């Protein structure tokens, strides 16, 4: 840090005079129409994901470096960052014509590493968290005579981020109930709060942290900086083990509350923003939206104006599958069950009749017992209460049911591991089917199948496309081969025989 701390009035002056607009734009404050309608409030998104580096971080980085002397800049700068601050420093260094060395955790997404390199900065990968990278950067700083640009615990960096608060109040002069911002080390919310609370003190400032990296919440509760032993890396942009001295002081002084959200809630918020803007936020960038939703649900506030800072969009493409799967659960739109049904013809059909017209998102089964079948199934729901009702429906019909909707093991691993070889799967033939995807399509598919042959394997997963894909194993004696061919012909669905696929032979 360049100072231990500065007084409140000086922060207001620093923010009003911050040099950010050589590289930053005044980002729009956009209405989120769908979210507003769903949650009964006027919800506005402060679109910091639209900055050139797809996050707010260039504001603080540039303001800090613009305040340095020419001699300091001539020696070069060094920073530690999971990615977004790194890009901000790299862009600022390129604009100001100075050398930049960035120490990044080895866990940083390749998208962010490549973006830093593309801006001409030198990248050093060290440690698995920001704190470990910072310690290494401070050693390199001392050895090389570079100037350290802290990502959050520096008044000039905080003031740069504070221009976001200044813009929000200028863009929306009418009443605002609350502003929500993500917290990692605390620079973003400290800057926003230091400005807003001096100009419009009635506005609530609410921080949002991921439950696996909530150092600020714990530090505020303890009245001192708490260092976490480890942090979750899903929200890598806020994966900070220890917050700053100055940011903790400002948060304690200005921030009204800190909420925590989990991975599923964050994924749901990513989906919400994509639906509203067609933009894919990174997890840290969506924390404020997830927190806003939680705030509305827990407080019941209605008819108010709520602002969420969408602070970053540096999303790795290979994360999208995970985010998509978890978004439905985070929004309470998917329930996951393990259901035990009798191993006899017609049981599958009866089970699907109980599911009714609900959309089935996943259906996994492999024969393993000659008396009962264990089915892993995902079903689209409208609310958590509907999941409870559906589970009761299964049980009342004699199907033992285990609700796995909140089971991390089931959501992450078991849904992909249901299956294996089975000694009971004699005379098994394996076929892939493709059929038009629509609500009830899976039940229609099962209704089209003759009950003559026992289903020994079944896998269906809703891929969000216009075609449903099912893998089915059926026990068909060789003497029924012609009848089975007739069945396939009359079924009317595209199909492929996979009975001799070597992967099937090896694993199933």
Q: How far does CA 10 lie from the centroid of its chain?
A: 36
| Angstrom distance (rounded) from CA 102 to CA 108 | 12
| Angstrom distance (rounded) from CA 149 to CA 153 | 9
- The residues facing 380 across adjacent strands are 334
Q: Is 233 helix (H, G, I), strand (E, B) or coil?
A: coil
Given this model, what pLDDT does residue 1 score? 41
Sheet of 334-342: strands edge to edge? 400-403, 334-342, 372-380, 360-366, 454-461, 467-475, 428-436, 494-497
Distances (CA, A) of 335 to 386, 404, 410: 9, 7, 11
172 close to 146: Cβ distance less than 8 angstroms: no
Sorted by where each starts, the structural domains of the chain and their CATH numbers stand as 8-56+155-324 (3.40.50.1100), 57-148 (3.40.50.1100), 332-507 (3.40.1020.10)
| Angstrom distance (rounded) from CA 268 to CA 310 | 14
Look at the block and give the residue holding tokens 């070889």. Answer: 421
| Angstrom distance (rounded) from CA 196 to CA 292 | 18
- Both structure tokens of 27: 């980002």
Given this model, what pLDDT does residue 26 score? 98
Side-chain-side CA neighbours of 1 within 13 Å: the count stands at 16
Given this model, what pLDDT does residue 353 score? 83
Under-50 pLDDT residues of the chain: 1-4
Given this model, what pLDDT does residue 369 score? 77
- Both structure tokens of 153: 């615990």
Tens-digit pLDDT profile for residues 74-133: 999 999 987 789 999 999 999 999 999 999 888 777 778 888 999 999 999 998 777 788
| Angstrom distance (rounded) from CA 259 to CA 393 | 35
Q: What is the DSSP letter of 199?
A: H
Question: What is the sign, positive or negative, of the torsion defined by CA atoms of 449, 455, 457, 460?
Answer: positive
Question: What is the sign, positive or negative, of the torsion defined by CA atoms of 475, 480, 486, 487?
Answer: negative
């Amino acid at each position: 840090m360049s100072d231990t701390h500065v007084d409140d009035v000086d922060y207001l002056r620093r923010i009003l005079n911050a040099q950010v607009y050589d590289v930053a734009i005044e980002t729009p404050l956009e209405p989120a129409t769908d979210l507003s309608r769903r949650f009964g409030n006027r919800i506005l998104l402060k679109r910091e994901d639209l900055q050139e580096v797809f996050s707010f971080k260039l504001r603080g980085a540039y303001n800090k470096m613009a305040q340095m002397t020419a001699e300091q800049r001539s020696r070069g700068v060094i920073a530690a960052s999971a990615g977004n601050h790194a890009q901000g420093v790299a862009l600022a260094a390129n604009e100001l014509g100075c050398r930049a060395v960035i120490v990044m955790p080895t866990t940083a997404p390749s998208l962010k590493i490549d973006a830093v390199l593309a801006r001409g900065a030198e990248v050093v990968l060290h440690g698995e968290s920001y704190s470990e990278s910072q310690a290494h950067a401070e050693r390199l700083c001392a050895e090389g005579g570079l100037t350290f640009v802290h990502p959050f615990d520096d008044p000039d960096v905080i003031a740069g981020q504070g221009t976001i608060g200044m813009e929000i109040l200028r863009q929306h002069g009418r009443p605002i109930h609350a502003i929500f911002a993500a917290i990692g080390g605390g620079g973003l919310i400290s800057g926003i709060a230091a400005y807003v609370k001096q100009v419009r003190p009635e506005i609530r400032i609410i921080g949002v942290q991921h439950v696996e990296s909530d150092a600020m919440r714990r530090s505020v509760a303890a009245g001192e900086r708490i260092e976490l032993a480890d942090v979750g890396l899903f929200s890598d942009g806020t994966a900070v083990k220890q917050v700053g001295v100055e940011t903790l002081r400002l948060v304690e002084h200005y921030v009204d509350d800190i909420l925590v959200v989990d991975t599923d809630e964050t994924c749901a918020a990513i989906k919400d923003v994509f639906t509203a803007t067609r933009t894919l936020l990174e997890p840290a960038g969506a924390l404020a939206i997830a927190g806003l939703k939680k705030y509305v649900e827990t407080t019941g506030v209605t008819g108010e104006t709520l602002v969420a800072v969408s602070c970053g969009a540096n999303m790795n493409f290979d994360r999208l599958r995970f985010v998509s799967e978890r978004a439905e659960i985070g929004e309470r739109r998917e329930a996951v069950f393990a259901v035990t049904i009798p191993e006899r013809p017609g049981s599958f059909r009866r089970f699907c009749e109980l599911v009714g017209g609900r959309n089935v998102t996943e259906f996994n089964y492999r024969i393993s017992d000659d008396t009962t079948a264990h089915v892993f199934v995902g079903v689209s729901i409208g609310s958590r209460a509907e999941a409870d009702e559906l589970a009761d429906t299964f049980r009342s019909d004699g199907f033992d049911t285990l609700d796995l909707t909140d089971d991390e093991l089931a959501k992450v691993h078991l849904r992909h591991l249901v299956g294996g070889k089975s000694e009971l799967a004699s005379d098994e033939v394996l076929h892939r089917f493709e059929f038009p995807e629509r609500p009830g399509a899976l039940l229609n598919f099962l209704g089209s199948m003759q009950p003559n042959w026992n289903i020994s394997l079944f896998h269906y997963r809703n891929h969000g496309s216009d075609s449903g894909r099912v893998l089915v194993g059926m026990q068909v004696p060789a003497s029924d081969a012609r009848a089975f061919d007739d069945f396939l012909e009359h079924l009317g669905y595209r199909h492929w025989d996979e009975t001799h696929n070597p992967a099937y032979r090896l694993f199933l």
